Structure formats: structure tokens, C-alpha cells
């Protein structure tokens, strides 16, 4: 929780520091204690430091979200080779799944929507996380059948940290509501297939 406050929420941290600084400076005005003045000035001086820390420190959560955005941008460009580099080298079956699935489609738009959950797997070594998100695409099927369809999907991904980078080790996509359909790939995250 403290990590997220320091590294991901600089506005909230700045507001907290400003409130404490204001209280200390008010106390100094009322009592003339130099300690209250010093504490208030220190809190004010820490505000830019909090912004610098938030900018310089990338949490695992931020790194995973950046990988999701990187994947969405690559899919938007139909740059599947970049997408394949986001898959863990230790998971050839996941890479094969993506190589089989993605070339069947041509994407005109891909966007990550709501992050429904991002949960770190307790006790996993190396660290793992499961992301449940929504994504929207405008897609055409290369073999025909679908042309410039606007599709919203629930995307579930398992990430593993290897060599200080987060890689996808498993994924599936489902309809927003309900269970898997004919487009949902089999996966550990999709046990019903």
C-alpha cells in the first residue's frame, strides 16, 4: 500500500504533505515554536521529491500495465512480431497459440479498457500476476466472415517476471458477459475449454 502511495499516486501524496505542512505552519503561527515551522517547511520541500520519486520508480503494477499498453499498440499496428516478444520465452505453447490466432485477423483499432483486477499470485517465485481487463477492437477476419466489427472482449492474462521484465505466460479472451465462446482460446485461465 505504501509503495503504491509513493510511486503511483503523487497527487494524493502531495495533498497529504500539503495538509500536514499547513497544520504545522498553522501551529507555528499560533505558538511560534520553531519545530513546527521546520516540520512545515520540510513537508513542503518533500512535495517535489514525491513527484520525482513517482516518476523515477516503476512498480511491478505499472510495468505490467505498460506491457498491456505496448501489446495494444502493437496489435493496433498489426505488428504481431512485437506481440510475440511480450510472451515468455519459457512458454512455447503460449507463443504457438498467439502465432496461430493473431494472423487470422486484421486490426484497425485496439484499446485496453477497464482493468477489472490485477492480482499478484501470493508466494509465486518468480513473481506472477493475473490481469483481468476489458479490451475493444475493430477487427476483420482475413478469411472473410467478419469485416470491421467493433468487438469488446474480456481479456485474462497471466504474467511472470523474468530478468526484471514481465512476460505473458498464458492468456485467453472471453465475451464481456458469460463463458467462453468459439473465439476463446483454450488456456489455464479458461478451464472450461
Each residue of 3-37: pLDDT tens digit?
666 667 788 888 989 999 999 999 999 999 999 99
173, 137 Cβ separation under 8 angstroms: no
Residue with cell string 501489446? 71
Contacts of 80 (CB under 8 A, 6+ apart): 74, 98, 99, 102, 103
Among 65, 24, 60, 28, which Cα is nearest to 45's? 24
Q: Is the pLDDT of residue 80 over 80?
A: yes
Average pLDDT over residues 44-62: 85
Q: Is the pLDDT of residue 191 over 60?
A: no
In the structure grid, which three cell numbers stand for residue 22, read together? Answer: 499547513
| pTM given for the model | 0.74
* SS3 label, residue 72: helix
Among the listed ranges 6-15, 30-39, 95-104, 162-171, which one has the minimum average pLDDT value? 6-15
Radius of gyration of the chain (CA): 23
Looking at per-residue pLDDT, the higher value among 121 and 4 belongs to 121
Task: Output the pLDDT for position 193.
Answer: 46
Give kind and range of the element (H or E) at residue 48.
Answer: helix 34-56
**In Å, what is the CA distance from 180 to each residue of 34, 106, 158, 174, 177?**
66, 22, 17, 5, 9
Tens-digit pLDDT profile for residues 134-145: 999 999 988 777
For helices 34-56 and 10-31, what crossing angle results, to 10°? 170
Task: Output the pLDDT for position 160.
Answer: 95
The fold of 60-175 is Nuclear Transport Factor 2; Chain: A, (3.10.450)
Q: Is the pLDDT of residue 52 over 90?
A: no
Q: Residue 57's pLDDT band (boundaries 50, 70, 90)?
A: confident
Amino acid at each position: 500500500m505504501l509503495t503504491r502511495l509513493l510511486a503511483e499516486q503523487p497527487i494524493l501524496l502531495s495533498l497529504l504533505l500539503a495538509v500536514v505542512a499547513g497544520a504545522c505552519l498553522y501551529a507555528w503561527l499560533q505558538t511560534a515554536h520553531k519545530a513546527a515551522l521546520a516540520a512545515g517547511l520540510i513537508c513542503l520541500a518533500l512535495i517535489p521529491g514525491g513527484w520525482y520519486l513517482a516518476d523515477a520508480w516503476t512498480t511491478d503494477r505499472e510495468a505490467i500495465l505498460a506491457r498491456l499498453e505496448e501489446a495494444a499498440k502493437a496489435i493496433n499496428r498489426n505488428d504481431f512480431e512485437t506481440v510475440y516478444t511480450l510472451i515468455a520465452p519459457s512458454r512455447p505453447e503460449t507463443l504457438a497459440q498467439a502465432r496461430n490466432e493473431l494472423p487470422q485477423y486484421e486490426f484497425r483499432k485496439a484499446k485496453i479498457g477497464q482493468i477489472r483486477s490485477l492480482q499478484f499470485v501470493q508466494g509465486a517465485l518468480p513473481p506472477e500476476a493475473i490481469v483481468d481487463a476489458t479490451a475493444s477492437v475493430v477487427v476483420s477476419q482475413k478469411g472473410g466472415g467478419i469485416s470491421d466489427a467493433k468487438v469488446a472482449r474480456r481479456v485474462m492474462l497471466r504474467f511472470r517476471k523474468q530478468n526484471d521484465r514481465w512476460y505473458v505466460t498464458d492468456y485467453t479472451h472471453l465475451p464481456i458477459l458469460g463463458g467462453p465462446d468459439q473465439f476463446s482460446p483454450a488456456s489455464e485461465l479458461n478451464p472450461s475449454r
